[in-house]
Structure 1
Amino acid sequence: MALVIAGDRSRTGKTTVTLAILAWLVRQSTKVQSFKVGPDYIDPMFHAAITRLPCRNLDPVLTSETYVKFCFARHSQNADWVVVEGVMGLFDGIRPVRACHDKTLRLQDYASTAHIARLLNLPVLLVLDCSRLSSSIAAIAFGYVNLDPQINIAGVVLNRVGSDRHLELLQEALSTINLPVLGVLRRNQVVTIPDRHLGLVPSEELPQLQTIFTQLAELAQTCFDWKKLLPLLKPPAAEHTLRLDKEITTRKSSIKIAVACDRAFNFYYQDNFDILRKLGAELVFWSPLADSAVPKVSGLYFGGGFPEVFAEQLANNRTVLKQLRQLILGGIPTYAECGGLMYLCDRLIDFEGKERSLVGVIPTTAVMQQKQLTLGYRQATAMQNTSVISRTQTVRGHEFHHSSLTESPNEALWEIVSFNTASSKVAEGWQIANLHASYLHLHFGEFEFLPQKFIQCCRNYQT
């Protein structure tokens, strides 16, 4: 059946609940598959660190409803247990004015946790923040249960319960609406995971990670009603013809692409790696932080991440900076997203105002601004031909960054509009030689022409 872990709002504790459930499940089985609703990169890192399997994003904006169904079916079919972590509050989504005109949507909840639960016909475990509440919890829960009859809320987890008396009041209130309590977490049972400007600190940066996972598993052992939960976590029977399985045959690898992957660059969708390999690429993972040379390859791929946190170390690796500058200006096909874009700029100014020289291919400075956050889905139309896209082609992506650039390109790569608002058009992105660099994060699932063109450009460069 699989189970969706949802929250009544953001920061209600659904990630802690999800990680605790995953940590306990991996003690029972080696095949626990997780999914994350939305475009997030960091929560899936924690999932994968626990399960040792890639977490898959379910995002109908970045991909499509059809792709979400096939992705879920393919990756859940051989699992022993399946967990889907939601995003924000259960019904928090968007009004899809540009890529969907579904007249049956009662709320602006496209791409929400509720949307995915309906789409995949999965039950929901609702995490409720019980701090500063007692009997009123019943009204809140009643609203969530009855707002959309297509959503099956199988039970609730009461989080941040203050005392035994507090728990009694909550249970009495919920008994009036016959809603099962499947888990209880006390305020003094909090397992803390550090966070910073883009969310949780990524798992690779936490030396105490295994201790945290052990604490979460022990918490889950006593806090959840496993007799009722386990049947909900079984994978659903395959209901769809798996188009993706038919296409999964990987071509013989003939093109090597270097993927920057370390603590500074780790925002990648596993599906993008799978699709690149399927199309014939061999991915060579390397570290701009630690390696002394760029691998000998036919293409470069820089994902997002935290170059601002590691700017000093990146700037001190001068041999790699010089090699990258020569390679990129010499025409090697290069794809860079967000943090990758920032790394390829002349300079980066961090939150403390410290300025450091970086690769120097893009003639601008990336400036971190704590109070300025650019966030949201975007629809982008290419204004130039690049190594990744052809002029006039349109894609959907996501932006999430605290930095801005001091200079704009003479001819921007994209014409961008906000996906779900009638905002004005914005010109963004850089095309230099065979470099395609932008703040836009892209998922290749419904846009395979992007990696196809990139790999072809890599072949042309190799020959």
Structure 2
Amino acid sequence: MIQEIKIPRILISGTGSGTGKTTFTIALTKALQSRGLKVSVFKCGPDYLDPGYHSFVTGKTCQNLDGWLMGKESVISSFVSASQGSDISIIEGVMGLFDGHSPNGEAGSTAEIAKWLQVPTIILIDASGMAATFSAIASGIKNHDPQVPIQGFVANFLGSKSHLSIIETASIPLPILGGFPKSYEHSFPERHLGLRSAGPDILTEEKLSFWKNLSEEWLDLNKILEISNSAPPILSESPTIVQEKTKDCKIGIAYDEAFHFYYEENFKKLRDYGAELIFFSPLKDTKLPEVDGLYFGGGYPELFAERLEKNKNLTEEIRSFANSERPIYAECGGLMYLSSEIQNIEGQNFSMLGLIPGRAVMGPKLKSLGYVEVHTEKRTILGEAGIRFRGHQFRYSDLILENEDDSLFSYHIRKRKSEQTTREGYTVSNVLASYVHAHWASNPEIPKNFIDSCRRFKV
């Protein structure tokens, strides 16, 4: 049954990457929390890094909302479910408002999410070095697609309060909700194409307090709350009462500084199908937990390769686990850990698990970035041949195989903008590893099949 659900909400977007969306979202979150509000934060797109910051600040897992990976129904249900118990939900956009999979369509864009969820939208504009031009840019964005519910603008990277006053005077008749001055010393450090992983060394109390105080001084918080409360009810399916399944399958999740790129939706689906998730650290733990399957997500194993290599006890336990034919699934950084060795950017080599016969070699340039669709060409621990699902690649390494044996490959991978396919999905017995970060909302049978594989090979 369809029901109307009232969720105060706003979406923070911008004219492109680098306009300060993540910092603004963190600053606004802290300011609203200081008013006693419970805040849920979401991130458009497939990114793992920004959600880590929002999870750290809110103490609640930040969910990804990705139109191409998930589809409309999953986006709405995930948003509604994860917003429960919060006073306000904030969605951070990806890239610019209208940037998606194609320059001629809205699929995969922040605008698409804004429409699906009917979210009042605030646009950040880099105002450095401009005055009346701010108004021209804001007018163009507002008029480009009137169906996107744009409710205000924020001027970022200002020179002074006087600069903000000039922009307000020259602006179109839409609210200017404030702005932020330039403050490079309080910015968050970056690595590759994004922020460094969240942690107390990055998100210090001093920095968080600075951005909270800046929000209270420079933003019209009352107006922002008024805008969020103006959001119409969301039409959504009534929550299905799911009968509690017996947790007869235990899956070990590698989770620490080296491995922490996971979609929360994947965890939810594993739990929904009867798995108990047990988290462990390949960096710190010397013994595996008692589990029926293992899941190694992405991350930065190359930065911790020496520590991973030295953890001999756990290495031997994982190898014994693989030899028992219990399932092991790995993505990106997890694939690197399962390979024979990692060669870091300085050319140093570190021995890894050796479950996949290849060497992961880091490079200075991006090797792959973008959405992919996977078609399995043979039976794996994720199910029968012919299964399709969607995912994303973001990597600076290549896997140099020791041989090109056909039996090693189980995937055909097609990039979203190409008809050409490549072979990947490395399998050895019940080990399956890939550079693809899979989002299981694209095929909910995947987590079910993985659990079934774990049940079949329980010892």
Q: AA paired with 1:218? A: N
CA–CA separation in structure 1 for the residues paired with 2:210 and 2:256: 26
Q: Tell me the CA shift for residue 210 of structure 1.
A: 3.0
1:167 aligns with 2:164: yes
1:462 aligns with 2:458: yes
Query: Residues 340, 382 of structure 1: CA spacing in aligned structure 2 closer, same or farther, 3 A cutoff?
Result: same
Specify the SS of the correspondent of 1:136.
helix
Specify the SS of the correspondent of 1:360.
coil
Structure 2: 5+ residue runs without aligned partners?
A: 1-7
Output aligned runs, 1:379-418, within 5 Å. Answer: 379-407=373-401, 408=404, 410-411=406-407, 412-418=409-415
Output aligned runs, 1:108-127, within 5 Å. Answer: 108-127=105-124
Q: Which of 6, 9, 14 is residue 2 of structure 1 equivalent to?
A: 9
CA–CA separation in structure 1 for the residues paired with 2:193 and 2:358: 23
TM-score of the aligned structures, taking structure 2 as reference length: 0.94
Q: Tell me the CA shift for residue 271 of structure 1.
A: 1.5
Structure 1: 5+ residue runs without aligned partners?
A: 96-105
Q: AA paired with 1:291? A: D
Q: Tell me the CA shift for residue 78 of structure 1.
A: 3.3
Q: Tell me the CA shift for residue 410 of structure 1.
A: 2.6
Specify the SS of the correspondent of 1:204.
coil
Report if the CA contact (8 A) 1:80-1:235 is conserved. Answer: no
In structure 2, the partner of 1:191 is: 186
Specify the SS of the correspondent of 2:447.
helix
Q: Which of 272, 275, 280 is residue 278 of structure 1 equivalent to?
A: 272
CA–CA separation in structure 1 for the residues paired with 2:168 and 2:293: 58
Q: Tell me the CA shift for residue 10 of structure 1.
A: 0.4
Report if the CA contact (8 A) 2:389-2:440 is conserved. Answer: no
Report if the CA contact (8 A) 1:417-1:423 is conserved. Answer: yes
CA–CA separation in structure 2 for the residues paired with 1:136 and 1:208: 34
TM-score of the aligned structures, taking structure 1 as reference length: 0.93
In structure 2, the partner of 1:253 is: 247
Query: Residues 195, 391 of structure 1: CA spacing in aligned structure 2 closer, same or farther, 3 A cutoff?
Result: same
CA–CA separation in structure 1 for the residues paired with 2:405 and 2:52: 34
Specify the SS of the correspondent of 2:67.
coil
Q: Tell me the CA shift for residue 362 of structure 1.
A: 0.5
Specify the SS of the correspondent of 1:230.
helix
1:414-460 CA-to-partner distances (Å, cap 9, x unmatched) read: 111111x1342111120111111111111222422111111111111
CA–CA separation in structure 2 for the residues paired with 1:271 and 1:448: 10
Q: AA paired with 1:449? A: E
CA–CA separation in structure 1 for the residues paired with 2:37 and 2:183: 30
Report if the CA contact (8 A) 1:288-1:314 is conserved. Answer: yes
1:346 aligns with 2:345: no
CA–CA separation in structure 2 for the residues paired with 1:10 and 1:322: 43
Q: Which of 313, 316, 321 is residue 319 of structure 1 equivalent to?
A: 313
Q: Tell me the CA shift for residue 248 of structure 1.
A: 4.4
* Structure 1 segments (4+ residues) deviating >6 Å: none
In structure 2, the partner of 1:443 is: 439
1:100-123 CA-to-partner distances (Å, cap 9, x unmatched) read: xxxxxx942211111100111111
CA–CA separation in structure 2 for the residues paired with 1:223 and 1:389: 53
User: What is the number of equivalent residue pairs in this alignment?
Assistant: 449
User: What percentage of residue pairs aligned between the two structures are identical?
Assistant: 37
Query: Residues 291, 145 of structure 1: CA spacing in aligned structure 2 closer, same or farther, 3 A cutoff?
Result: same
In structure 2, the partner of 1:103 is: none
In structure 1, the partner of 2:199 is: 204
Q: Which of 84, 101, 105 is residue 91 of structure 2 equivalent to?
A: 84
CA RMSD of aligned residues (A): 1.8
Q: Tell me the CA shift for residue 172 of structure 1.
A: 2.3
Query: Residues 416, 52 of structure 1: CA spacing in aligned structure 2 closer, same or farther, 3 A cutoff?
Result: same
Report if the CA contact (8 A) 2:118-2:234 is conserved. Answer: no
Report if the CA contact (8 A) 1:34-1:82 is conserved. Answer: yes
Q: Tell me the CA shift for residue 160 of structure 1.
A: 0.5
CA–CA separation in structure 1 for the residues paired with 2:203 and 2:58: 17
Specify the SS of the correspondent of 1:431.
strand
In structure 2, the partner of 1:102 is: none
Moved more, 113-122 or 129-138: 129-138
1:239-263 CA-to-partner distances (Å, cap 9, x unmatched) read: 33435x3154441211111100000
Q: Which of 12, 31, 39 is residue 46 of structure 2 equivalent to?
A: 39
CA–CA separation in structure 2 for the residues paired with 1:398 and 1:208: 27
CA–CA separation in structure 1 for the residues paired with 2:230 and 2:456: 44
